[in-house]
Amino acid sequence: MIVSQDSEASNGQITDDGSNIIIMDSIVEEKTTKVDASSSNPRDWPRRKKWIAVTLAALYTFVAPICSTMVAPAFPYITADLGFTSTIQTEMILSIFVLSYVIGPLFLGPLSEVYGRYIVLQVSLWFFVIMNTACGLSRTATQMLVFRFFAGIGGSAPLVLTGSVVSDCFSVAEMGAAMSYSVLGIVVGPAIGPILGGFLTAGAGWRWLFHTLSIFSGFLAIVGTFMLPETYRPLLESRKETVSGISSRIVHSNIRIVQNLITAITRPFIMIFTQPIVQIIALIMGFVYGVLFIVLATFSALFVKKYEESTEISTLHYIALGLGFFGGNRIAGSLLDVTSKFLQSRNNTSHKPEYRLPVIIPAAILLPVALFLYGWSAENGWHWIVPDIGILLASMSINTTFQSLTVYTVDVYSRYSASALAAVGIFRYMAGFAFPLFATSMYDQYGYGWGNSILAFAGIVIGIPSPILLYIYGERIREKSQFATGE
């Protein structure tokens, strides 16, 4: 909350700037004194303090992606112990966690635009620790699915807020490299999860999958309690303002706070229905995320059934997925800022968000090629290294696309970046929930060859034209948007 103590200008008015409540009350007689105003802007902080904030937020983002996929190798053990009765019900162990990503960001992102990043991240992570521990203590299938859903809601906060933390701390010119670092957990975590899951299940039992992650997450939450700084500038500015003299009490408008919060929560829905840029990004992200979760849900089973490997050994193939994610992370991190600077120089203009998009086009072409290679090599039983190479290339493409579009979204909707990312997340996580549910039946009916070919053809239709359209028309669309800042 920002309180203005200029009695001449206030006249007892209450205004709302869209994300912060500004109360102007004439009962305050003396002006405020701002204490070190520059430090209330995280972009003016020392680099060390910025990177502490981004590093901790990035570590938080490892939690949910690891948790989402670590259960895949343990499916047979969990279903046997808890009495799951169908393939769809078993696949819900993974999918329902991703479904909760749809719900969480819709209110956690906007809440951070009212109450700040710190409190939302901390409370959400502790909520995840409690619910994830409950998963490890589950005695029935229903308990497992319910606790997994609520654990996903708690774990979803860093997924939507880490990009906003980066935007809070870094300027547009610095954002590309910082963003590539901050999303590493989001893209590498899903590959780490099954490897940990396979070996922990074999060594300690499936319940310790959850207990081990809860211990790690609790440790992170304790560290964050003392070291994670608040980065939301409007909240920091309100804290810096002090009142040197007040003749009577300041009346806080609780009704106005509720109204402002409702506005913030409904903003992602408004953006998804009114912002063409958000709609196009959501389409691309939904598709690539759906493909990713099909792979995550079925990759280990391919090597167990077709290549007759043990569960533990089959999970090692997720290393290829992780290497691709890391490679895409490095490519996007290196090229996003370089490409923008090159286009600024060539066109003799200042930075534009659209200068982030050329990085996506080669990645969009690579994904169908990788899916063809993966699908037909698996179908024909070629040496295991060939489908691994296909998945490595696919994950490299997916991460490059994901990271570039995340930076572009934050670039376009800087002030409302959390709401924009939440809006995109609706489609992305719905696809992550739905795609694995039909993956097994798709491969049973069409095989790995034609099954992945269907995905590749969809990638050609969706993935290649979309970034080109945004590059050509994005600026004109932004000029008509009430949310796009183009900062």
- Identity of the amino acid at 257: I
| C-alpha dihedral sign at 88, 92, 93, 98 | positive
Residue 241's pLDDT is what? Answer: 63
Which tokens belong to 8?
């001449």
Provide CATH code, domain 39-236+254-479. 1.20.1250.20
In contact, 424 and 280? CB cutoff 8 Å: no
| Tens of pLDDT, residues 293-328 | 898 888 888 998 889 888 888 889 999 998 998 888
Give the DSSP letter string of 239-262.
Answer: HHEEES--SSPPPP-HHHHHHHHH
Backbone angles phi, psi at 348, to 5 degrees: 55, 50
30, 155 in Cβ contact below 8 A?
no
441, pLDDT greater than 80: yes
Could you tell me the pLDDT band of residue 391, with boundaries at 50, 70 and 90?
very high
Between these two residues, 162 and 455, which has the higher pLDDT value? 455
Rg of the chain (C-alpha set): 23
The pLDDT, as a whole number, for residue 460 is 96
Beta bridge partners, 243, equal 32
Q: Cβ neighbours of residue 144 under 8 Å, at least 6 residues apart? A: 78, 82, 93, 135, 138
The mean per-residue pLDDT over the stretch 465-479 comes to 92
For residue 108, give Cα distances in angstroms to 237, 278, 303, 350: 21, 18, 38, 33
Above 90 in pLDDT, residue 245? Answer: no
Between 304 and 257, name the one with better pLDDT: 304
CB 213, CB 70: distance < 8 Å: yes
Indicate the pLDDT class of residue 4, thresholds 50, 70 and 90.
very low
Q: pLDDT by residue (tens digit) across 203-212?
A: 889 999 999 9
Burial 268-306 (b: 16+ CB within 10 A, else e): beebbeebebbebbbbbbbbbbbbbbbbbbbbbbbbbee
**pLDDT band at residue 457, thresholds of 50, 70 and 90?**
very high
Which pair of structure tokens corresponds to residue 3?
Answer: 């309180």
pLDDT at position 244, please?
36
Q: Are 200 and 77 in contact (CB under 8 A)?
A: no
Instruction: For residue 85, give the DSSP letter.
Output: -
Determine whether 232 is exposed, middle or buried from the number of CB atoms within 10 Å of its CB (0-12, 13-18, 19+): buried
pTM: 0.75
Q: How far apart are the first and last CA of the chain?
A: 24
Q: Which of 96, 107, 197 lies closest to 146, judged by CA?
A: 96
Write the DSSP symbol of residue 40.
G
Query: Exposed, middle or buried by CB within 10 Å (0-12, 13-18, 19+), for 387?
Result: buried
Cα(21)–Cα(322) distance, rounded to whole angstroms? 43
Q: Is 442 helix (H, G, I), strand (E, B) or coil?
A: helix
Q: For the chain, what is the mean pLDDT?
A: 83
Provide the pLDDT for residue 163. 82
pLDDT digits (tens, 9 = 90+) for 58-114: 999 999 999 998 998 888 899 999 988 887 888 889 889 988 988 887 788 778 878
Tell me where in the chain the CATH 1.20.1250.20 domain(s) lie: 39-236+254-479
Tokens of 88: 């769809």
Which region among 34-38, 71-75, 378-382 has the lowest average model confidence (pLDDT)?
Answer: 34-38
